[in-house]
Amino acid sequence: MATLYTQAESNIHKTWFYLTGFLIFIIVLGWLISYLAGSYIILWVAVAYSVLMSFFSYWYSDKIVLAINKAEPIKKENNLELYRLVENLCITAGLPLPKIYIIREDQPNAFATGRDPKHAAVVVTQGLLGRLERNELEGVIAHELSHIGNRDILLSTIIVVLVGVVVIITDLFFRISFYGGFGGRNNREGGQMRIILLAVSLLLAVLAPLLAALIKLAISRKREFLADASGALLTRYPEGLARALEKISQDPHSLKVANNSIAHLYIASPFRGRQSKSWLNKLFMTHPPIEERIRALRGMKI
């Protein structure tokens, strides 16, 4: 059975795996475009770009995520009760105090981000603070601190940046190919090269979003179950988080800042009334069903 420590080590390995995979993907794509276009300058540009974006996603992905979600920092004097709650849980968990942010929206939800426990942030919505009782809010914060402790946050956050970059690059490749941006190595080969480029770029344009969904699936579902269990062990009160999840899932408000690229970061899916119940949609859900999580929490023996 996975523990907090084995999961943390596993997530660190996965982080470097995805960063390395991103580097290789961009370099291979750059080589392919360079070969077909007859200009290896594109390959050097792809190498430089992939290295730069990997560095950027490691150091700044959390700031990008906070900006996308329009999260605002909370000052201690503005919400002393929340700060004390987070401080007490951090002492119990042996974690440094993360920065605390708020999203000014009515849907109750939360997530954590950052590259490591020393550079972490916990984000809550205004609706979460308004709707949950103290022991329920404590359960949610403990869940997010568990994500920080087992290094889920870096893995989840860099995926937002890297997947977005891959989709943008493949879309740009398709547009350049479609409008004849590459003419081939000479006039005779120009038409043939353009057909090959169009075929390759169309394939990438179709596969990139699917790859993005599969990557998010690979990192999201198990981490939620583990963070639920770790959070419940931290508070010694699984019922608090179970009741919080019930309230979060039943709330009808939509989260305006949410989109598919960041939905997997939240404690529960931020979409309300926009989720299809088809088997295909369930296959690509980034979160396990709330009912299963609540059942698992209420089945815990503490």
Give dist(CA 169, CA 124) in Å, integer: 32
In sequence order, which ranges of 69-151 are alpha helices (DSSP H)?
80-93, 126-131, 134-149
Give me the half-sphere count of Cα atoms (radius 13 Å) on the Cβ side of residue 63: 5
Contact 221, 288 (CB under 8 A): yes
> DSSP letters of 179-248?
TT----SSHHHHHHHHHHHHHHHHHHHHHHHHHHHHHHHHHHHHHHHHHHHHHHHHHT-HHHHHHHHHHH
Which residue do the tokens 């943390």 mark? 8
Residues 6+ apart with CB under 8 A from 267: 109, 110, 111, 140, 143, 144, 224, 245, 248
Catalytic residue among 77, 144, 239, 246: 144
Contact 215, 221 (CB under 8 A): no
Q: Which two tokens stand for residue 205?
A: 């344009």
Degrees, nearest 5: CA angle 144-148-149:
115
Indicate if 246 belongs to the active site.
Answer: no
Q: Which two tokens stand for residue 299?
A: 């089945």
Q: Is 291 exposed, middle or buried (0-12, 13-18, 19+ CB in 10 A)?
A: exposed
Contact 140, 128 (CB under 8 A): yes
Catalogue the active-site residues.
Answer: 144
